[in-house]
Every structure is written in C-alpha cells, then in structure tokens.
Amino acid sequence: MLNNGHVLGAAAALLTAWVLLREKPDEEAEAIRSLALDLDDEGAAVFADIKGFSRPPIINGHIPDVFALMDDGSQLAVEFENERSVRRTHARRQDKAFTKWAKASPKKRAYVQEIIPGGKGRRS
C-alpha cells in the first residue's frame, strides 16, 4: 500500500528539482550571448541565434549560432555544441558544412566549433 506522505514528498522533491533546472541558465545560450556581445563591442556586424540579434545567414544549408562580419571584411562562423550534441549526425553535418565554407576563402573566413560542458542546447 502506498503511503500518501511519501508520494507527496517525492512529488514535491521532483517539482523542486524541475523548477531549479528550468531556472538555471543554459551554458550554451550564455556562451552565444557572451560572444555575440563581445563581437558587437569590437565593432563587428553580429548575427546570433538568440533573442535580441538578427538570425545568422544560411551557410551551406546550415545556420551557425554566431556569425560576424568584421570591419576588415573577414567573416567568422561559430557553432556551440555540448558533450551530447557534438556526437549527433546533425552536428557533424554542420561542422562539415561550416569547415567547407571557411576553407573556400581561408584568408577571409574562419569557423570554430566550441564544446560547452553542461550545455542543454536551448536558445534564449
């Protein structure tokens, strides 16, 4: 027979854990925002896949998390992944597409894939 006190206590503990996880900022989203703001401060035209910025351009069928057009005309594409997402087929395809884009004009284009430990892949 179930003890209602234990069930309610367990439910309350689960709800508390869920609320804490939802309130914790996502490290990936924070990294995107931080890089976008830093590049903007440096005078770059910045596009980022988060609220407050225009959406980055499509590059070889994929959208990077951050795209910057620097004053000298050089371009930077950055993709953030977490420990789980980097192993997925989609991430490997993005990495290949962005690498190909950068190699097409190595003096003017750069691509970086950054792994963020503990990231959740949400965008805010």
Distances (CA, A) of 115 to 16, 43, 49, 53, 61: 29, 25, 16, 22, 21
The pLDDT assigned to 8 comes to 57
CATH topology of domain 26-115: Trna Endonuclease; Chain: A, domain 1 (3.40.1350)
The pLDDT assigned to 42 comes to 93
pLDDT of 12 > 70? The answer is no
Give the percent of the chain with pLDDT over 70: 75
Rounded Cα distance between 83 and 69, Å, is 28
pLDDT of 72 > 50? The answer is yes
Q: Work out whether strand 75-81 and strand 109-115 pair parallel, antiparallel, or are unpaired.
A: parallel
pLDDT tier at 118 (50, 70, 90 boundaries)?
A: confident
Question: Has this prediction a pTM greater than 0.85?
Answer: no
Choice between 96 and 85, residue whose per-residue pLDDT is larger: 96
Q: Residue 90: how many CB atoms within 10 A of its CB?
A: 10
Query: What is the phi-psi region of residue 107: left when phi exceeds 0, alpha when psi lies from -120 to 50, beta otherwise?
Result: alpha
* Spatial contact of 104 and 114, defined as CB atoms under 8 Å apart: no
- Give residue-wise pLDDT tens across range 16-39: 655 555 555 678 889 999 999 999
Domain ranges of the chain: 26-115
Distances (CA, A) of 82 to 41, 57, 79: 26, 22, 10
